[in-house]
A and B are shown apart, each in its own frame.
Chain A
Amino acid sequence: MKKRILVACGAGIATSTVVCNRVEKLVKDNNVDAEVIQCKIAEVKAKQKGADLIISTTILPTTYEIPAIIATSYITGIAMESLDKKILDALK
């Protein structure tokens, strides 16, 4: 079944764009059938229904019903590979 991934950042402007691109490439390279949706963290609560995973570049202001991963590594470049693995594992 197609997975839905929400990629969120605080203002929906800067950081999520980069992470979105990275996650799209990650799922494609690993043959995961997934749709990547960019949004603001404030919209996640309403959008989580029907989604499988939240990937956020910022702190999570609340708790969610689906798994959430913080992806600051994609911005700093530190430990990017282990983050790749964490995301892929969460989609299994």
Chain B
Amino acid sequence: MSIEQFLNDDLIKLNLSCKDQNDLFEVMYKEAFSKGMVDELFLTKIKERESVFPTGLNLNKFSVAIPHTDPQYVKEQFIAVVTLENPVKFHLMDDASQETDVSVIFMLGLNQPHQQIETLQQLMAIMQDTSNIEKLLAATNSEEVHSIFKQIEASV
């Protein structure tokens, strides 16, 4: 399954205005829950997971976050893509004592942990190329996000 198939236009939010991390999680949860993609515990669980094991990542030029939770709260798989009008703070995945300003979030709704290695590798290939993050930050419609994801599929 290609990574682009995990995108869902209702779960692509560009230049979203959020006051903090919880606000962001709530907006995305509402959207995913209303489409029947996650169960009602997803919001609590993703917040819990983020507070114990944060997912902020410092890349070369930008910081991103990959919030996710246990597979049982995900009914239909997705990768939500969010760019923020103003960055919100996430703690770092490898050092919870540090915070970073995150402008691009890939929220992972995955429930097949042993069958998604290729998808995750493609996602990491997207993150590891600064120009992709720049393109995502500049994107104004979901078509542009799809094309970034499609292009990775062709190259990985």
Q: Which residue of A lies closest to B129 (CB)?
A: A77
Interface flags, A12-27, vs B, CB<8A=1, else 0:
1111011001000000
CB distance from B148 to the nearest CB of A (A): 17
Interface residues of A, Cβ cutoff 8 Å to B: 9-15, 17-18, 21, 41, 57-59, 61, 70, 72, 75-78
Q: Could you tell me if A57 and B93 are in contact, using CB atoms closer than 8 angstroms?
A: yes
On whether A21 and B117 interact (CB within 8 A), knowing A11-B68, A58-B93, the answer reads yes
Identify A11's interface contact among B53, B94, B116, B121, CB under 8 A.
B53
Q: Could you tell me if A59 and B53 are in contact, using CB atoms closer than 8 angstroms?
A: yes
Prevailing SS type, chain A contact patch? loop
Q: Which residue of A lies closest to B117 (CB)?
A: A17
CB distance from B127 to the nearest CB of A (A): 7
Query: CA separation between A12 and B94, bound complex, in Å?
Result: 16
On whether A13 and B124 interact (CB within 8 A), knowing A41-B53, A59-B96, A78-B59, the answer reads no
Q: Could you tell me if B70 and A13 are in contact, using CB atoms closer than 8 angstroms?
A: yes
Is B49 close to A, CB under 8 A? yes
Q: Could you tell me if A17 and B127 are in contact, using CB atoms closer than 8 angstroms?
A: no
Name the segment of B2-10, B18-26, B34-42, B106-114 touching the other chain: B106-114
Q: Which residue of A lies closest to B128 (CB)?
A: A77
Q: Could you tell me if B52 and A10 are in contact, using CB atoms closer than 8 angstroms?
A: yes
* Interfacial residues of chain B within 57-80, with CB under 8 A of chain A in the complex: 57-60, 66, 68-71
Q: Could you tell me if A76 and B127 are in contact, using CB atoms closer than 8 angstroms?
A: yes
Pick 27 A–B contacts, CB within 8 A, sort by A. A10-B49, A10-B53, A11-B49, A11-B69, A13-B70, A13-B111, A13-B113, A14-B120, A17-B116, A17-B117, A18-B120, A18-B121, A18-B124, A21-B117, A57-B93, A57-B94, A59-B54, A59-B93, A59-B94, A70-B94, A72-B57, A72-B93, A72-B94, A75-B93, A75-B124, A75-B127, A76-B59
